[in-house]
Copies of this chain bind each other. A is one copy, B any other.
């Protein structure tokens, strides 16, 4: 499914989306180089991320767009966006304000180490 979007068609043509019209977006801090979180973007979330410079995602659970930090104030100022060789994953480098995780951890990967 592809929702209506203002995404640049030359970018849209390179995206390979899953059955729900989404690609995973890896969010990395441009300063610490920590991987902060992974969110999901459809064409319009990517368009908003590129055009507003704010990390914007599609919530699979709520089926709605959300802007990182909209309620918490822990915003992501987007510095760089890259598409991978297969066109099915994004890497977004950001200046993160405050902790990136809703738990208060700096990253979403801080709490559960398997190895």
CB-based nearest B residue for A33: B33
Contact with B along A74-115 (1 / 0, CB 8 A): 000010111111110111000000000111010011111111
Q: Which residues of B lie under 8 Å from residue A101 when comparing CB positions? A: 85
Q: Which residues of B lie under 8 Å from residue A46 when comparing CB positions? A: 114
Query: How far is B41's CA from A23's CA once the two chains are assembled, in angstroms?
Result: 16
Is A67 interfacial (CB-CB < 8 Å)? no
Is A56 interfacial (CB-CB < 8 Å)? no
Task: Using A78-B115, A85-B101 as known contacts, list a sample of 16 further A-B pairs with CB atoms less than 8 Å apart, ordered by residue number in A.
Answer: A11-B114, A24-B24, A26-B38, A35-B35, A37-B84, A50-B114, A82-B110, A82-B112, A82-B113, A84-B108, A85-B102, A85-B108, A85-B111, A89-B108, A90-B114, A91-B109
Q: Is the CB of B50 within 8 A of A24?
A: no
Q: Is the CB of B38 within 8 A of A89?
A: yes
Q: Which residues of B lie under 8 Å from residue A108 when comparing CB positions? A: 84-86, 89
Q: Which residues of B lie under 8 Å from residue A102 when comparing CB positions? A: 85
Q: Shortest distance in angstroms between A108's beta carbon and chain B's nearest beta carbon?
A: 4
Q: A24-B24, A38-B89 are in contact. Are A81 and B113 (CB under 8 A)?
A: yes
